[in-house]
Amino acid sequence: MDNRDEYGQPLAHENASRGHANMKLRSCTIGVSLALVVLGLTGTVAFADGYRARAGYAVPPIANWTGFYIGGNVGGAWSDVEWSNISLTGERFNNDVSGFIGGGQIGYNQQLGNIVLGIEATLSGADLNRDFRSIVPTINFSTDVNTIATVTGRFGVAADQWLFYGKAGWAGAQVEFSGRNTVGPDSFSFDDWRNGWTVGLGLEYKITRNVSFGVEYSFIQLDSDDHNGLTRLAVPFTLRDHDLEIQSVTARLNLQFYRDEYRAAPPLK
């Protein structure tokens, strides 16, 4: 059947049908384009936590621990402070206190097979303070540990998304010592940065390729020291064999940064 008029032109309803077909084709093209855009955006979100691989690179395994990381920690701590003698009263001082600790950490790990070697630095604030009543009713002593820093080496064993590690290294803390006599009145107070060592154990789990959650126990032993000074009323005093231990248990969250070292194997020829 001929669908043309006497002048050889397509009939009007044929033009309308073709117009509808072209419109459907354009609508289909727009729909596919939008779908591709949505998929592209979805892919971008999916790779936002670090799963995107460069051209010529394979997607790194989620369990790899190599790279720099930065994170935060929060938990509880307790300290044991003692000195063998204070000349003002001639007594031995012992003060156990517990409180809050929280701060940040930065470090680097290198994974060699299942072995993970690393180095880490931490800086934390603490709320470890408590008063101690002397055998002399009018005198109180107190200690306050408010800043703790560490630099440690780490040795760990990785098992898929789990990392069990130990650490050891340097530790330091800012400690304030004070005493007050309500009769007089008289008092003394001084800040002291103390150095020492630390050891600890930890367990981390990879939530995603770039994020890990962990729990860590730390023990800090600060060097023993003696202190001499004068009170506000110029009374000399001496603290002998001052010892300080700090223990803590913290929850940790780390964000890891990777290097582009996971090059895909060349295709077989």
CA atoms of 66 and 12, how far apart (whole Å): 70
Burial class for 135, CB neighbours closer than 10 Å (0-12, 13-18, 19+): exposed
Compute the Cα dihedral for 6, 7, 10, 12 and give only its sign. Answer: negative
Secondary structure of residue 30 in the 3-state scheme: helix
What letter represents residue 24's amino acid? K
What is the reported pLDDT for 35?
Answer: 35
Nearest-angstrom CA–CA distance, 195 and 149: 9
Rg (CA), the chain: 34
What whole-number distance in Å separates Cα of residue 254 and Cα of residue 106? 9
Residue 59, pLDDT score: 54
185 preceded by cis ω (within 30°)? yes
pLDDT of the chain, 269 residues: tens digit per residue: 455 555 454 544 444 444 444 443 443 343 334 333 333 433 333 334 444 444 554 555 567 899 999 999 999 999 988 776 677 777 777 778 899 999 999 999 999 999 999 999 999 999 988 787 888 888 888 888 999 999 999 999 999 899 999 999 999 999 888 888 887 788 888 888 999 999 999 999 999 989 999 999 999 999 887 778 888 888 888 877 678 899 999 999 999 997 654 444 455 55
What is the pairing mode between strands 186-206 and 211-230? antiparallel
Strand partners, 68: 108, 257
What's the pLDDT score for residue 40? 41
Beta strand segments in the chain, E: 67-86, 91-112, 115-133, 139-159, 162-181, 186-206, 211-230, 236-257
Q: Name 209's Cβ contacts closer than 8 Å, sequence gap at least 6.
A: 49, 50, 51, 60, 62, 64, 256, 258
CA distance 27 to 33: 10
Tokens 């009145």, located at residue:
185
Tokens representing 149 are: 């820093």
Q: Check if the beta carbon of residue 225 is closer than 8 Å to that of residue 242.
A: yes
How far apart are the C-alpha atoms of 74 and 160, rounded to whole Å? 26
Other C-beta atoms within 10 Å of 263: how many?
11
Task: In whole angstroms, give the CA distance from residue 154 to residue 73.
Answer: 17
d(CA 113, CA 212) in angstroms, rounded, equals 19
